[in-house]
Amino acid sequence: MHARAALPFKTLTITSITLLSFVFVLFSSLTAKAHELYLEPLDYQVGPEGRLMINIVNGQKFRGHKLPYLPQVAVRFDMAGPEGVVPVVSRAGDTPAVDMQVPAQGGLLVFIYHARNATLTYNDAEKFWDFVEHKDLPVTRAEHAARGLPESGFKEVYSRYSKTLVAVGDGAGQDRNFGLLTEIVALANPYTDPVDNGLPVQLLYQGVPRANEQLEVFDKDPAGEVTITRLRTDDDGILNVPVTPGHSYMLDAEVLRLPDPALADETGASYESLWANLTFAVPVAD
């Protein structure tokens, strides 16, 4: 695999540092105003030693803004494949965030991205309650009031845990639990396994299956039209996602919890949300 070396720090000028600072502020603004953060390859299937490009995207309904790679935002950015798990090598400001030559050895590549904590202030409380209802999260207005929280002007701290599955050559391999705080794991390979009855996935939180929880499915057809459905996991945190050959998919699920005291003191947040996301495509049969 031919990866680009990191840009030497000595080549950064005051102008470029200022630009990156501006981009960081813009990044934070965009992620605060939109919803899902996901990894979207330009092509989910590439040939051995082919060129792979992956965007970090923030938006809604499987459409959004392409964001640059910023090391101050990325807590973790790894690639898992036949040779193990290695860090993704990108430079600050890279868009797409991944632009690389894939290995000569075919197989399934899993890209793992964990974005640092960010905060959002709800000056309009109804936006928070719309979010709670949409994502089927376990908090009520009565519980909110019982904690002595204001009706508006309260904060949420959130973090993102996104993965994407890419097939190189035959695409053989298997997704697994990579130890993210919350994670969606594909229990079958959409590029090699039969998925006529759907793709089984498991939803995890702290490595434990999340039973009877909502998972939102975004199904994008070749024309770019998106269909959204909401499914629920079983007692083992598993569900089958109906899939169609030639379509790409984004799966998304959230955990809402109270921040620990240290995080609450640091951020002033009353709530903490953890966003799990997985993208993949289903190839058309030969």
Segment 177-217, tens digit of pLDDT: 999 999 999 999 999 999 999 999 999 999 999 999 999 99
For residue 273, the SS3 value is: strand
Q: In this model, does residue 6 exceed pLDDT 80?
A: no
Residues 6+ apart with CB under 8 A from 84: none
Segment 92-128, tens digit of pLDDT: 999 999 999 999 999 999 999 999 999 999 999 999 9
CB 190 within 8 A of CB 280: yes
Q: Map out the domains of the chain as residue ranges.
A: 9-281
Q: What's this model's pTM, rounded to 2 decimal places? A: 0.89
pLDDT of residue 21: 45
Residue (of 123, 228, 237, 240) closest to 183 by Cα position: 237
Residues 6+ apart with CB under 8 A from 209: 202, 203, 233, 236, 237, 238
pLDDT of residue 286: 73
